[in-house]
Chains A and B, each alone.
Chain A
Amino acid sequence: MEELRKKARELLERGAVKVVIGYGPGSAARTRAVFVRKPEDADQLILNDQCTQNLSVYLTKPEVKTLGKPAIVAHLAGLRSLVQLAAENQIADGQVLAIGVSPEGKLAELPDLKAVEAYLAGFRFELSPEEKAELDKIERMTAQERWKFWQEQLARCLKCYACRAACPLCYCERCLAGNNQPQWIPVASHQTGNLEWHLIRAMHLAGRCIGCGNCERACPVGIPLSLVTHKLGEEVFKNFGGRPGLSSQQEYALGSWKLEDKENFIG
């Protein structure tokens, strides 16, 4: 933690960045995002197991961008979001300095995309046995059971869009859910409206979502969204190879065509 504060202080003092986006003490035992701009405020920064929010969500928030070039404290998920944002032209190289935090808590200053990508190359990204088991449980259900399961889970959805707001990759200034000319998705939180919202969000995230869990943590009614995000990651990996958020040159799996793509579904 001291090392992080020292690094933040030093980055701000020498003007390498204008703001350090990190974790600070929050309400009760929680942590919250802090935006440190003065070197003397670097002591606000903390690093512990409560620091789970993927802070990369703030990199595309308009008012955060007005603060100037940021350094961002990022665990592996945060780093992958950063790379994915770069792959989608939302961040230019050199526009963000990453302070990587390894699973053991070791820090690494990563000044550009090349450094972040090289750092990420040293890790394996697979679901844990527990996460695989959870997906397995759903996959072993019949189609009827699976439909019933999801209808029950989604019945609680309020359409508060906390999942969307918390997601680093939902940065569209005008989400299609807000359109009523035409109305692509019913706004209402009834059965159809809830199902369609979650389906559309899943499809818009496939090939892009790195499974940080911000959405599930943000949901006020406890919908198990990580089941969806993890499944998406596995399906994309299985069908297209590669995982998002590891290379800023990676093409969008669902939007690019390769000669080797399967055609076994074409007549």
Chain B
Amino acid sequence: MTIEIKRLKKDSLPRLFAQLQAKGRRILAPHSRAGKTGFEELSSSGQVAQDYLQTTLSPKSAVFPRCEALFRYTFEGKEIKMEEKPEPAPTVVFGLRPCDAASFAVLNAVFSWDYPDALFKSKLEKTALLSISCRQADDYCFCTSVGGGPGDTRGSDILLTEMGSGDYLAEIITDRGRELVQLAPELFQEAPAPGKEKHLAQVPVKFDLKQLQEKLPKVFDSPQLWLEQSLRCLGCGACAFVCPACVCFDLQDEANRQGGVRLRCWDSCGFSLFTLHASGHNPRSLQSQRWRQRLLHKFSYFPDRLQTLGCVGCGRCSRICPADMNLLEHLKTIAEAS
């Protein structure tokens, strides 16, 4: 599949939004509240957050909301009546970064693993990713250490790169991307001069992934290492909740005499009760065990079982962590240990 290159003028954004919406697309884009950014349904491009290097919350809520109904039901006498599931609206996620676009494949790997999750799939199939590459990076970013990059096209349907003029170099990557262009073809104009690389941030590789993956299984039984790394961890769920690749969930049933709903809610392996068994036994009763699991899950178990890393190097976890755990630092320590 060849990538077509077009120019999208900066002042075309309002019209692009309007035309996509006119053709029935719901647009999720970065929006700022109380100084934090997340992806929300926006009615105009004027509401899109400006000047964000990376959003606080990830776009995973487009296909994996923080609280979603798996099914609803009402009781009719002795019968249970299931409610019709609403069709997901066709959605465009706008303004996500290349690391975020790559994370959708990670989510999909889990939701296709032993059981194809119909609810997730139905949303994923209706979701197009219109990403914007990175002109800036900070010390928390490490996409290039995990196989990504500030202008990487993996996972995006269209990738926009802002050029000096303010206009975007638009790469139309997939059939879904081409479909989107067809909804507003006059806005995608003749290709600009090639060479998007000069508009991208420099993100140096910060650790050797291969070395890390070789060392990880060897340090599983190093209780001192895990204790040292996790002493300041508070055991909150912030890292898992802002992570675009974290997908653990909790099922909650809420019902009364009239009927009820089964909800799927975000969960975190950092919580102390995450692995509490009904017997009362907890195989990860210590924070150090939970920290070890977080690291190994993303960098060892995921590649082993799902042939994909569980991390895209977006850095959100480290930016938001109230205890400044800084995952990247810990990864480097392990990769560089003799």
Contacts and interface: CB of A to CB of B under 8 A. Distances in A.
A189 interface: yes
Given A189-B266, A221-B36, A33 B326 contact: no
A30 B67 contact: no
26 contacts: A28-B140, A30-B324, A33-B232, A35-B231, A35-B232, A57-B234, A62-B287, A63-B230, A63-B286, A63-B288, A153-B34, A156-B33, A156-B38, A158-B57, A158-B241, A159-B237, A166-B234, A174-B273, A186-B254, A188-B265, A189-B66, A217-B322, A218-B236, A218-B322, A220-B36, A220-B241
B164 interface: no
Contact of A27 (B139, B230, B237): B139
A87 B214 CA distance: 49
Interface string B263-279: 10110100111000000
Contact of A190 (B67, B227, B320): B67
A221 B57 contact: yes
B227 to A, nearest CB: 6
Contacts of A63: 227, 230-231, 286-288
Contacts of B288: 63
Of the four ranges (under 10, 10 to 19, 20 to 34, 35 or more), the interface on chain B belongs to: 35 or more
A173 B56 CA distance: 29
Given A32-B324, A222-B34, A64 B231 contact: yes
A200 interface: no
B272 to A, nearest CB: 7
Given A178-B273, A220-B241, A187 B323 contact: no
Interface string A35-65: 1000000000000000001000110011110
A166 B67 contact: no
B263 A160 contact: no
A32 B139 CA distance: 16
B329 interface: yes
A223 interface: yes
Interface in B39-98: 56-57, 66-67
A229 interface: no
Interface string B224-257: 0001001110111110111000000010101000
B175 interface: no
B194 interface: no
Contacts of A242: none
A31 B324 contact: yes
A164 interface: yes
B36 A189 contact: no
A248 interface: no
Given A218-B322, A220-B56, A221-B38, A188 B234 contact: no
Interface in A175-234: 178, 186-190, 193, 214, 217-218, 220-224
A222 B265 contact: no
Given A32-B324, A63-B286, A27 B265 contact: no
Interface in B19-47: 33-36, 38
Contacts of B329: 27
A141 interface: no
A4 to B, nearest CB: 18
Contacts of A61: 234, 287
B232 to A, nearest CB: 4
Given A218-B236, A220-B238, A221-B33, A28 B287 contact: no
Of the four ranges (under 10, 10 to 19, 20 to 34, 35 or more), the interface on chain A belongs to: 35 or more
A165 B234 contact: yes
B318 interface: yes
Interface of B: 33-36, 38, 56-57, 66-67, 138-140, 227, 230-232, 234-238, 240-242, 250, 252, 254, 263, 265-266, 268, 271-273, 286-288, 318, 320, 322-324, 326, 329
Q: Which interface residue of A30, A160, A189 has the most chain B CB atoms within 10 A? A: A160
The 9 lowest CB-CB distance pairs between A and B, nearest first, are A222-B34, A165-B236, A218-B322, A32-B324, A162-B236, A165-B234, A160-B237, A26-B324, A33-B232
A156 B67 CA distance: 12
Contacts of B240: 160
Given A158-B241, A187-B265, A221 B56 contact: yes
Nearest to A64: B231
B231 A166 contact: no
Nearest to A173: B272
A175 to B, nearest CB: 8
A161 interface: yes
Contact of A186 (B252, B286, B323): B252
A162 B237 contact: yes
A188 B268 CA distance: 13
B323 A32 contact: yes
A188 B236 contact: no
A223 B67 CA distance: 19
Q: Which interface residue of A27, A156, A164, A186 has the most chain B CB atoms within 10 A? A: A27
B33 A162 contact: no
B230 to A, nearest CB: 7
Q: Which interface residue of B38, B232, B250, B329 has the most chain A CB atoms within 10 A? A: B232
Nearest to A67: B231
A178 B232 CA distance: 22
A160 B241 contact: yes
A220 B234 contact: no
B34 A221 contact: yes
Contact of B242 (A173, A214, A220): A220
Interface in A125-153: 153
Contacts of B326: 26-27
